[in-house]
Amino acid sequence: MKILLAAFSLFAGTNLLAQEVQKTYCNPMDINYRYNFEQLQEKISYRSGADPVIVNHKGEYFLFVTISGGYWHSKDLVNWNYIVPDKWPMEDMCAPAAMSVRDTLYLFQSTFERRPIFISTEPEKGKLIFYNRWPPPLPKDIGPWDPALFYDEELDKWYMYWGSSNVYPLFGSELDKSQNLNYKGQYKGLIYLNPEEHGWERFGRDHTSSIKPFTEGAWMTKHNNKYYLQYGAPGTEYNVYANGTYVGDHPLGPFTYAPYNPVSYKPGGFVNGAGHGNTFQDNYGNYWNTGTPWIAVNWNFERRIAMFPTGFDSDGQMFANTRFGDFPHYLPTKKWQNKDELFTGWMLLSYKKPATSSSVMDTFKVASVTDENPRTFWVAKQNKEGESITIDLQKLCSINALQINFTDYKSEIFDGFDPKIYTQFRIFISKDGNSWETVADLSKEKRDRPNAYIELPRPVEGRYVKYEHIYVAAKNLAISDIRVFGKSKDPVPATPGGVKATRDADPRNATVTWQKVPGATGYNILWGIDRNKLYQTYQIWGDAPSSKEIRALSKGVSYYFAVEAFNESGVSKASEAVFIK
């Protein structure tokens, strides 16, 4: 099979960004998510990315995703080239494991049967070779499914972790390098879920279901001689999919539950869910945690990919910063010192702003494109050039970036390698709705961008934003959200007052209340195990009630809660943190 490089410049045609270096990114990641389909009563076609693993290999980045027919390569974490290697499993890879050791990249797939480990010293060229064929399978249902490979350089020992179940634990085993990474000794169960103690491990929207939760997505990170065994829970189908960790002094434990769990959690906002990913370091030594946000329009397991700045504080507490995690962030150019310093401060300008369109199919109203919900969407009457959407920001704003999120509504694309799969459009900005400036022209683009992120090289002042359609390969033109980022001239909101937090009779839950402030677009509920460790965030829109039950707490752990307000100009100072025992 030939190597297919979906090589792309930042933007094509007369786009203002063509000569600029992109300095920011925005979740979900802007890559050409591959088409997949489910054979149910009828075939369901959708683009999806799930179970991401990003590894830094010799100073460059490689992204592996479930059932993608290949992988992605990047030098900067923003421009990703899609590669189909010369060897690839006929059945594709689910929840792959990847690891870089010296000059070699190792790659393995989830399986219950004998499957090879691949290696490559030139993965950027798509050159994979067979390293071994995995030994006879483990007992029925044991795996290894959702594997993770780990090499401990100081010990010069190799390990594998795996598991995807609501019955079995996560497992681990040392591997014998002298025997082509076969199991060395007995594998062992390492950690089980305990939702009776850990509220965030409960299933359902906001942890309200009694369905037995799933643990999966094992990953190991060694930091300051501590071993952080990470896992995803409680399940990918809701907004609360998250990553947690246990900590130990040896690669195979024993491990202790981290009381500050989960480490990566994003139940609110446009991107929902942060579970089942991995942790890696960039070329500046910064940590990142990847995850699988939930889309679920065509198929319950339809997902995208997100990455969040991650760190370890002076006490060794691991955290991922999901505060404004789906707003634009700077790409680092050095090792960051403050967890929020990558946030651009470009605020969402488009939330629930009025929008008009050239046409509407059935009941798929155009108001959906500004509701910050990827599961609602507008559909044009026809998928034809010239269809358009205009958003009225209702005042002059300084616009820095936009994100166009397409939806696969009855796409009926079952050949994900069809060269006709790409997206083309133009973006215009106007101060008065009459005179328009072209700020992005993707009319020559030949890249599929279902979550296209456009950073403008300079702020553009405007009130109206227009999307003009040219081409998508799908049967229908459908867009879930057009997100506009920048600044308005309004004052930043005041700090919310009257913040209270009350532990429920079930100590896994607490109810937080606050007083709304004028002009707030929304609020962030912040919490953690110390007043200086408010690492968790639940984003709430300003038109929602000023009370929220947080059901992600652990029994026997005390917490601090604070609330901050944000609008189209910026973010207030956080309230004084309140303590609950």
Q: Is the pLDDT of residue 368 over 80?
A: yes
Domain boundaries, the chain: 27-326, 347-487, 500-580
Query: Average pLDDT, stretch 84-104?
Result: 93
Query: Average pLDDT, stretch 291-318?
Result: 95
pLDDT digits (tens, 9 = 90+) for 153-166: 999 999 999 999 99
CATH architecture of 347-487: Sandwich (2.60)
Query: Average pLDDT, stretch 209-222?
Result: 97
Residues 215/191, Cβ–Cβ less than 8 Å: yes
Given this model, what pLDDT does residue 41 score?
Answer: 63
**In sequence order, which residues have a C-beta less than 8 Å from that of residue 42 and are 6 or more positions away?**
none
Given this model, what pLDDT does residue 38 score?
Answer: 77
Q: Choose among 182, 185, 205, 207: nearest CA to 195.
A: 207
Q: Is the pLDDT of residue 2 over 50?
A: no
Given this model, what pLDDT does residue 36 score?
Answer: 87
- Dihedral sign from CA coordinates of 316, 321, 322, 323: positive
Q: Is there a common fold for 27-326 and 500-580?
A: no
Given this model, what pLDDT does residue 290 score?
Answer: 98
Confidence label for 379 from pLDDT (cuts 50, 70 and 90): very high
pLDDT digits (tens, 9 = 90+) for 20-33: 789 999 999 999 99
Given this model, what pLDDT does residue 135 score?
Answer: 64
Mean pLDDT of the chain: 94
Q: Is the pLDDT of residue 330 over 60?
A: yes
Q: Is the pLDDT of residue 120 over 90?
A: yes
Query: Average pLDDT, stretch 497-504?
Result: 98
- Dihedral sign from CA coordinates of 442, 446, 450, 454: negative
Of residues 232 and 40, more confidence is placed in: 232
Q: What angle do CA 67, 69, 70 make, to 5 degrees?
A: 110
Confidence label for 469 from pLDDT (cuts 50, 70 and 90): very high
Q: Is the pLDDT of residue 107 over 70?
A: yes
Given this model, what pLDDT does residue 62 score?
Answer: 98
- Percent of the chain clearing pLDDT 90 (strictly above): 88
Residues 263/245, Cβ–Cβ less than 8 Å: yes
Confidence label for 483 from pLDDT (cuts 50, 70 and 90): very high
Cis peptide leading into residue 28 (ω within 30°): yes
CATH architecture of 27-326: 5 Propeller (2.115)
Conformational region of residue 489, where left means phi above 0, alpha means psi within -120 to 50, and beta covers everything else: alpha
Q: Which CATH number fits domain 500-580: 3.20.20.70, 3.40.50.10090, 2.60.40.10, 3.50.50.100?
A: 2.60.40.10
Q: Is the pLDDT of residue 18 over 60?
A: no
Q: Is the pLDDT of residue 5 over 60?
A: no
